[in-house]
Amino acid sequence: MAPLRAALYQGPGGVPESVDAALAGFEEAARRAAEGGARLLVTAELSLTGYAVGDRLAALAEEADGPSARRVAEIAARHRIAVVYGYPERDGAAVHNAARLIGPDGTPLANYRKTHLFGDFERSAFTAGDTPVVQADVDGVRIGLLICYDVEFPEAVRAHALGGTQLLVVPTALMRPYEFVPRTLVPARAYESQVHLAYANRCGAEGDYHFAGLSCLVGPDGTVRARAGTGEELVFADVDPALIDAARAETPYLADRRPELYRALG
């Protein structure tokens, strides 16, 4: 199987002026990513609206198949590239912090709701999701979705590894001073479960939030194969599923697990 080339879009800094402005940014990023040979574009958490939008969040929320989803599908199909984007999802009275994967032909493939909400803002603004493993295939690669804080829980990543995820995609809005997460914790998560991990962060300032950037794509051996700085950037890396088997043969954490010992831990 040929490697899947992925592009991580970190930016732009600040809250988008509008959803239309965010979609224009998706269009440009998709164009550049496709020209660079990528078949998958990953954007940040709540990339459709911005993170620090306060009381406007509920008004900006859309159903999973809402008008913005259809416009992202048009962008994906126009540039023949799969797109992951973050958005506030409306489901009746509930609003979820969600990520959606659109295929390179514009077909909706997966929708994930953040299961671990971070801080008072998220817990007051969102309803947590309850489906831990959401997956879909792009060019034969099994892609799984988490969002930001989710990846900091080893159980969440291990569930994906056991479920067959090969590339774990994590739209993110990580703030300073938590730079140790992309620098240390994310490579450790990839290594301990031997999965490719794409971590696409926000950058710049939004109100009182200052986002850390440092988006990265890490291989199943823990090697950082692409790393962004702290400003707007598009970075590329190849995802080779064959490297997963090699990493698991070298470090057989999954094969050597003894889950019967952990059941009492809850």
| Annotated catalytic residue 63 | no
| Annotated catalytic residue 148 | yes
Q: Rounded distance, CA 131 to CA 190, Å? A: 21
Q: Which two tokens mark 41?
A: 């574009």
Q: Which of 45, 89, 152, 206 is catalytic?
A: 45
Q: Which of 62, 89, 148, 206 is catalytic?
A: 148
Q: Which of 114, 152, 203, 216 is catalytic?
A: 114
Q: Rounded distance, CA 41 to CA 124, Å? A: 30
Instruction: Please tell me what DSSP assigns to residue 26.
Output: H
Q: Which two tokens mark 262?
A: 């952990």
Give the residue from 136, 131, 130 showing the smallest Cα distance to 102.
136
Tokens 């008072």: give the residue: 120
Cβ(203)–Cβ(10) below 8 Å:
yes
What backbone torsions phi and psi does residue 210 show, to the nearest 5 degrees?
Answer: -125, 110
Cβ(235)–Cβ(10) below 8 Å:
yes
Strands 94-102 and 108-113: antiparallel
Residues 118, 145, 40, 105, CA torsion sign: negative
Beta bridge partners of 171: 200
Cβ(244)–Cβ(223) below 8 Å:
no
Strands 141-145 and 203-206: unpaired
Q: Where are the beta strands (DSSP E) in 12-67?
A: 40-42
Active site residues: 45, 114, 148
